[in-house]
Amino acid sequence: MAIESEVLVIGGGLGGLTSALAAAREGADVRLVSYKQSTLRQASGLVDVLGYTPDGDGPLTDPYEAIPTLPAEHPYRKVGVQTVRDALSLFDDAVPTYEGDHTDANALLPTHGGSIKPTARYPAGASAGLASDTRDTLLVGIEEMVDFDAPHVAAHLDATGVPFDVRGETIRFPGDLRADAKVTRYAKLLDTNSEVAVRGRMVPAREALAQRVNPLLEDEQRVGFPAILGDDNPGAIRDALSDHLGVDVFEVPMGPPSLPGLRLEDALFAALDEAGASIETGNPVVDFEGEDRIEKVFIEKNGARIPNSADQYVLATGGFVGKGVESDREGVYEPVFDCHVPHAADRYDWFEGELFGDHEFARYGVATDDDLRPLDASDDREFENLRAAGSVLGGYDFAAEKSGSGVSIATGYAAGQRAAQEAR
């Protein structure tokens, strides 16, 4: 026997989760299988839709306006503007702790490197840090934490022309954690508000942190910290800090490992659980049976192959980073179903000499028809009942465009919804 479902989603990142959620909300019996943890924990947790055109125009104020002008092979063109909007509505509903849905306009947020970037949705924790907000800002860095050097970030932000004064200060985190303490250690301390020793006295962590910042605060009306303010209770932590400091508190999204990304992943898994889907993580899909239709796939557990069958399948295994697309010296391939991945024959054509050149590899992934079904080398459907979503798709450079999350959500939504409709 096989483990059965109507829709089987392979991959547990933003594309897979949205896809499973859309299918489950459509009423289908959904099963999501995911090998390792997704790249969400490597991402900032911001939900970009489109910040720049492929030609580099931007930052775009209105991402939706630009979508119809994108090249035909772009995933947004496959699903259309309305689907992008519908998909974001699903996201807004599933993750109510995100903001930005009150306007079509992009927001500009400070990055931990000190630049600013356009994005469409941001966690509530980042909202007091918007760069179009003109309030003067104090950034606070932690001496032990090399990923966020507040004075440097502040100076860099200033160079981008932000409409406010910004200053950076560095403190030692109360409790004198060892220099290689993980961000989860900081988050846990603040989550539990455990007491830390400050000059021989035990003080709750949130209060102790505020005490270190207070003397540094001048006329600024908001204070930004690196995104370490809790995993389970970030809102309460910000409120507490805000009360102590008397000004708004926000987080600057960070690089990996990213707590905002982790929180987003948790929120989506919780929404999926609530929608009644079944979820299995930790083991890879390694093989399948079927010719024109996929009959079943095999999940590998230490040598044992566990069959899983479904009516419809969604491939949401990620791009190069998530290993949904792999490569060797000879070429580029999709490892689960061996779907065709168009790419240049000479691997020296995969990239440009300039660091931020127009790299082809960034656009590699499976090509699909308008129904998101992967196409083979002669533009025929690989399988009747397979759709692809998220960064396993080709035809767009999410890094240059700042469109990664938006494409994953939009194509995940479309693939999941259509799979569910077809399975019914």
Contact positions with other proteins (CB under 8 A) in 63-92: none
Binding residues for other proteins, rule CB under 8 A, total: 145
Which 193-232 positions form the footprint of other proteins (CB under 8 A)? 221-222, 232
What DSSP line would sit under 45-91, residue for residue? S-B-S-SS-TT-----S-HHHHGGGS-TTSHHHHH-HHHHHHHHHHH
Tokens of 393: 């798709």
Q: How far apart are CA 232 and CA 367, in angstroms?
A: 39
Q: How far is the CB of 303 from other proteins (least distance, A)?
A: 3
Whether the Cβ atoms of residue 70 and residue 406 lie closer than 8 Å to each other: no
> String of b and e for 84-119 (b: at least 16 CB within 10 Å)?
bebbbebbeebbeebbbeeeeebbbbbbbbbebbbb
Which 129-168 positions form the footprint of other proteins (CB under 8 A)? 130-135, 143-147, 149, 151-152, 155-156, 158-163
What DSSP line would sit under 176-191, residue for residue? ---TT--HHHHHHHHH
> In terms of CB distance, is 84 or 418 closer to other proteins?
84
Q: How far is the CB of 12 from other proteins (least distance, A)?
A: 10
> In terms of CB distance, is 319 or 374 closer to other proteins?
319
Q: Binding of other proteins at residue 283 (CB under 8 A)?
A: yes
Q: Binding of other proteins at residue 178 (CB under 8 A)?
A: yes
Q: Binding of other proteins at residue 377 (CB under 8 A)?
A: no
**Helix, strand, or coil (residue 204):** strand
Inter-CA distances, 412 with 5, 106, 249, 264, 406, Å: 18, 21, 33, 16, 10
> In terms of CB distance, is 148 or 413 closer to other proteins?
148
Which 338-367 positions form the footprint of other proteins (CB under 8 A)? 346-348, 350-351, 353-356, 359, 361-362
Please identify, among the stretches 41-49, 289-297, 372-380, 410-418, the one whose residues bind other proteins according to the rule CB under 8 A. Answer: 41-49
> In terms of CB distance, is 77 or 188 closer to other proteins?
188
Whether the Cβ atoms of residue 32 and residue 272 lie closer than 8 Å to each other: yes
Q: How far is the CB of 63 from other proteins (least distance, A)?
A: 11
Q: Binding of other proteins at residue 327 (CB under 8 A)?
A: yes
Peptide bond into 284 cis (omega under 30): no
Q: Binding of other proteins at residue 293 (CB under 8 A)?
A: no
Whether the Cβ atoms of residue 60 and residue 381 lie closer than 8 Å to each other: no
What DSSP line would sit under 320-379, residue for residue? TTTTSSEE-SS-EE-TTT-------SSGGGSS-SSTTS--SGGG-SB-B-TT--BB-TTS
Residue window 12-31: x/- pattern of binding to other proteins, with contact defined by CB under 8 A: --------------------
Q: How far is the CB of 413 from other proteins (least distance, A)?
A: 21
Q: Binding of other proteins at residue 279 (CB under 8 A)?
A: yes
List 300, 381, 421, 422, residue binding other proteins (CB under 8 A): 300
Residue window 98-127: x/- pattern of binding to other proteins, with contact defined by CB under 8 A: xxx-xx-xxxx--xxxxxxxx----xxx-x
Q: Is 182 exposed, middle or buried (0-12, 13-18, 19+ CB in 10 A)?
A: exposed
Whether the Cβ atoms of residue 388 and residue 342 lie closer than 8 Å to each other: no
Q: How far is the CB of 145 from other proteins (least distance, A)?
A: 7
**Helix, strand, or coil (residue 93):** helix
Q: Binding of other proteins at residue 328 (CB under 8 A)?
A: yes
Q: How far is the CB of 379 from other proteins (least distance, A)?
A: 26
> In terms of CB distance, is 193 or 421 closer to other proteins?
193
